Amino acid sequence: MCGIIGYTGKKMNAKDIVLAGLKNLEYRGYDSSGIAVNENGKINLYKSHGKISNLEDRLKGKEILSSTAIAHTRWATHGKPNETNAHPHRCGKVTLVHNGIIENYMELKKELLEKGVTFQSETDTEVACAYINDIYESEKDKIKCLSKACSAFRGSYAFAIIFDDEKDVIYATRKDSPLIVGLSDDGNFAASDVSAILDFTAKYILLEYGEFAKITKDKVTIYNADLKEIEKEVKVATWSATEYKKNGYDHFMLKEINEQPDVIANIFSRYLNDCNYNDIDFLKYDAIHIVACGSAMHAGMVGKYLFQNYANIPVTVDIASEYRYSTQMITPSTLVIIISQSGETADSLAALRLAHSKGATTLGIVNAVGSTIARESDICIYTYAGPEIAVATTKGYTSQVAILSTLVINAMKQKGLLSDELFENIKQDFSNISSNLNHIISKKEDYINVAQKIFDHNDLFFIGRGIDSAVCMEGSLKLKEISYMHSESYAAGELKHGTISLIEKGTPVIAIATNNDLYEKTISNIKETKARGAFAIFITTDNFKNSTFEDFSDISITLPKTTEFVQAIEVSVLLQLIAYETAKLRNCDIDKPKNLAKSVTVE
């Protein structure tokens, strides 16, 4: 995680330029931040604990004239989030910012300590900096020096580096952490992703593993792993700077929740009008493995339910950090679906590479265009949800579910399992999705009402069966990550096998029942919790509407009944809004919850 940006150019306000860019990278971590500038030939560092606004406050009123700066926003891995551990780090003639983890830093540190090098921080990054400086003492060619140093580093890195003795030049390189080089008439950039440079330019080069960039104000030179100069394609970003603004909403999360009617409707209409995923032959595969982390894994759970129940295809869903080290049966007849909003999640990427190495076909469901998972997957289906800034995913997740729904429909078609009647119903749901979601979003008072009843509790439980059980997992994570309430999600029939011991008078239980066949069974499970004092919130669909809800629930909310291909999306939006209103009542930092970062590019 962590965000990095560097600028060198014609303008003397490099500090302001990198700070503006850094703010767009804050979703990558916000434990501390820092900047290094070259002021009259002297490298000065400024750092602050906490969010970038603290660094801005610290720099307010300081006149810093510099045409080159590198900056960093940190999600702490090695060492506490304090100023000493904040980047940039500096040793001898080398100053750098880093995203990633140098796994063998203890080994390298020992070597350097024996040579008399001293360290201020607890970080792996300072060791990397000192190691580069050590090599630089004997290898004055900077690209060769960096190449030698990087060949000793195990783990992941994206570096932006400045040397004391070469003013107005930034060097950059990467392995398993993203890095782009931005190009503009006024100067050039190195950055974790394009969002950091969009206020200045849309043109960029993707740096690949093993490549090095030498960046000056009017020239960018890229070297391959053999240190030969190479030409690279200049890309133009498709997302615009305004998509990174709140546009009047109180929070990015609320803005992104409100974008879902359009995002999901676009996915469905793209599918119906011009995309049949003809290059995916579901008859070819013995098994589907869905692999992802966090909410993307929860989307996979919905996908598993749909694939198994409607397309008769056995599916496993694995957490990427486990899958990458497991002895899975991955064969050339396996379809491995990797789901990732950012397309950069380290564990998901490693799982993708493992699947490739075993000859499986890989299918990426990705939002960030041009990201590593998108590029390395055999087949990539973009969700095209637009930039997601709030750390807690909303449209990222529902768009993944929407893509999975369409894949399942395609698999059913190929296997002759899709009846005309069901397809007509699905198409009807697809055309109603935007108005249904807008209707759900408009019911703000209902969610405030639920939030008022639950916000001052310590524990909460979500229960559901079938597809609702998968949806509960995401509802629970959403509430937990932004409101800091302890919440657990259980298959409704499983609660009584132990966890029901935690239900006491007033404990909120959110129960979801949308499936005709399982409806009554879920109600029995709610009654079990009610009998033990639970405060039951019942979420169901309007086809079950009758007067008996109050017999077993304290609050009930009904949604329009649809096929299961869209129902999960609708319930999820409602749960996002309950989480949002609850977090608001608890005065939480909704867009930047504590301890989290959006893009998890370390193991």
The set of catalytic residues is: 2, 598
* For ligand M6R, the closer CB: 68 or 340: 340
Cβ-based neighbour number of residue 137 at 10 Å: 10
Q: Is 160 helix (H, G, I), strand (E, B) or coil?
A: strand
How far is residue 225's CA from residue 83's CA, in Å, rounded to a whole number?
Answer: 34
* For ligand M6R, the closer CB: 391 or 407: 391
Closest CB 462 distance from ligand M6R, rounded Å: 15
Sequence-separated (6 or more) residues with CB below 8 Å from residue 137: 92
When CB distances to ligand M6R are compared, the closest residue is: 294
Yes or no: say if 600 and 2 are a contact pair by the CB < 8 Å rule. no
Yes or no: say if 189 and 181 are a contact pair by the CB < 8 Å rule. yes
Sheet (strand 379-382) strand order: 315-319, 287-292, 334-340, 361-366, 379-382
* For ligand M6R, the closer CB: 55 or 301: 301
Yes or no: say if 38 and 66 are a contact pair by the CB < 8 Å rule. yes
How far is residue 67's CA from residue 51's CA, in Å, rounded to a whole number?
Answer: 24
* For ligand M6R, the closer CB: 180 or 477: 477
* For ligand M6R, the closer CB: 176 or 528: 176
Q: Which helix (H) or strand (E) holds 317?
A: strand 315-319
* For ligand M6R, the closer CB: 481 or 591: 481
Closest CB 235 distance from ligand M6R, rounded Å: 20
Residues that bind ligand M6R (CB under 6 A): 293-296, 340-342, 345, 348, 391-393, 481, 596, 600
* For ligand M6R, the closer CB: 295 or 567: 295
Q: Which helix (H) or strand (E) holds 409?
A: helix 395-414
Closest CB 542 distance from ligand M6R, rounded Å: 29
Rounded to 10 degrees, the C-alpha dihedral 40/41/42/46 comes to 60
Yes or no: say if 468 and 302 are a contact pair by the CB < 8 Å rule. no
Residue written as token pair 């929407």: 402
Q: What is the CA radius of gyration of the chain?
A: 25
* For ligand M6R, the closer CB: 88 or 343: 343
Closest CB 364 distance from ligand M6R, rounded Å: 10
Chain-centroid distance of CA 221 in Å reads: 31
Return the sign of the alpha-carbon dihedral for residues 466, 404, 350, 175: negative
Closest CB 306 distance from ligand M6R, rounded Å: 19
Closest CB 603 distance from ligand M6R, rounded Å: 12
How far is residue 341's CA from residue 132's CA, in Å, rounded to a whole number?
Answer: 34
Closest CB 579 distance from ligand M6R, rounded Å: 10
Rounded to 10 degrees, the C-alpha dihedral 257/301/352/97 comes to 40
Tokens of 138: 């004997």
Closest CB 9 distance from ligand M6R, rounded Å: 31
Closest CB 31 distance from ligand M6R, rounded Å: 16
* For ligand M6R, the closer CB: 342 or 410: 342
Residue 294 Cα distances to 81, 325, 474, angstroms: 24, 17, 8
Yes or no: say if 554 and 535 are a contact pair by the CB < 8 Å rule. yes
* For ligand M6R, the closer CB: 149 or 392: 392
How far is residue 460's CA from residue 499's CA, in Å, rounded to a whole number?
Answer: 12
HSE of 501 in the Cβ direction (CA atoms, 13 Å)?
Answer: 3
Question: How wide is the angle at C-alpha 50 spanned by C-alphas 58 and 484, nearest 5°?
Answer: 150
Amino acid at 142: K
How far is residue 402's CA from residue 269's CA, in Å, rounded to a whole number?
Answer: 11
How far is residue 256's CA from residue 591's CA, in Å, rounded to a whole number?
Answer: 11
Closest CB 455 distance from ligand M6R, rounded Å: 19
* For ligand M6R, the closer CB: 294 or 370: 294
How far is residue 77's CA from residue 1's CA, in Å, rounded to a whole number?
Answer: 9
Q: Is 478 helix (H, G, I), strand (E, B) or coil?
A: helix
Closest CB 340 distance from ligand M6R, rounded Å: 3
How far is residue 48's CA from residue 82's CA, in Å, rounded to a whole number?
Answer: 8
Chain-centroid distance of CA 447 in Å reads: 25
Describe the chain by its helix, strand, coil percentages, rounded to 5: 40, 25, 35
